[in-house]
Chain A
Amino acid sequence: GAGVSQSPRYKVAKRGQDVALRCDPISGHVSLFWYQQALGQGPEFLTYFQNEAQLDKSGLPSDRFFAERPEGSVSTLKIQRTQQEDSAVYLCASSLNGGAGRNEQFFGPGTRLTVL
């Protein structure tokens, strides 16, 4: 079956522009995670959904970052008024279950965001 997909794969934004990044998880996966990977670094956790509920958003770096998963499937990460420090690869991952289940996470190809 299909893996995790993300779109767009590449996004160039002018500073101050709003962007929206999409993640399609593996069908049936309950948990969805967003990570930010700066150049030369490991991914860093941003936020986590279990179905449509956002259970942890402790990693979001500022109130310019907003994520949603309204129907418990597709998720969108929105960044308002982008800044140069937002330039990174944004990775989405899904797992069959979370919480006590804590299944393995499968990662999408990522969206590379460049803010000029």
Chain B
Amino acid sequence: ELKVEQNPLFLSMQEGKNYTIYCNYSTTSDRLYWYRQDPGKSLESLFVLLSNGAVKQEGRLMASLDTKARLSTLHITAAVHDLSATYFCAVDLIYNQGGKLIFGQGTELSVKP
């Protein structure tokens, strides 16, 4: 059974600080997704990582994928309040199962002045 684990589950940061969210998964997958969810809202796609060693950056967020270690990271640089949200990683099953996504528990990020 594929399991996806994120840590930390809760993260309180000060503005301007850096931090990393980790996403571990338990079986082979070659695609990893990062989503953002604001309270009461749906999921907004942030990054799609398609291969080992993939690195993508958008603004203050940078995501990377290590398929050998089954690990993805979401790095936050110089956090600002607008980044406060819940972040989910998700993987899909590699063996032609239609691409259903298995999500982590989410990391609730709060950025304080």
Q: Which residues of A contact B (CB under 8 A)?
A: 31, 33, 35, 40-45, 48, 50, 55-56, 59, 91, 93, 95, 98-110
Count contacts on B: residues with CB < 8 A to the other chain: 23
Are B101 and A109 neighbours in the complex by a CB distance under 8 Å?
A: no
Contact B99 A45 (CB under 8 A): no
Q: A41-B106, A102-B31, A102-B92 known; A107 and B42 CB under 8 Å?
A: yes
- Subset of 28 A-B contacts with CB under 8 Å: A31-B98, A35-B101, A40-B106, A41-B106, A42-B90, A42-B103, A43-B43, A44-B103, A45-B101, A48-B98, A48-B100, A55-B98, A56-B97, A99-B98, A99-B99, A101-B99, A102-B31, A102-B98, A102-B99, A104-B33, A104-B45, A104-B48, A105-B101, A106-B45, A107-B35, A107-B42, A108-B42, A109-B41
**Could you count the A-B residue pairs with CB atoms below 8 Å apart for me: how many are there?**
62
B-chain residues with CB within 8 Å of residue A95 when the two chains form the complex: 99
Q: Verify A98–B99 contact, CB threshold 8 A.
A: yes
B interface with A by C-beta (< 8 Å): 4, 31, 33, 35, 41-43, 45, 48, 88, 90, 92, 96-106
> How far does the Cβ of A5 sit from chain B's closest Cβ, in whole Å?
11
Cβ of A109: which chain B residues have Cβ within 8 Å of it? Answer: 41-42
Cβ–Cβ < 8 Å partners of B105 in chain A = 41-42
A35 to B: closest C-beta gap in Å: 8
Name B88's contact: one of A31, A40, A42, A105 (CB within 8 Å). A42
Find the A residue at minimum CB distance from B92.
Answer: A102
Q: Contact check, A105 vs B42: say whether CB atoms are below 8 A apart.
A: no
B42 near A110: Cβ-Cβ < 8 Å: yes
Take A43-B43, A110-B42 as given contacts and tell me if A105 and B99 are in contact as well, using a CB distance cutoff of 8 Å.
yes
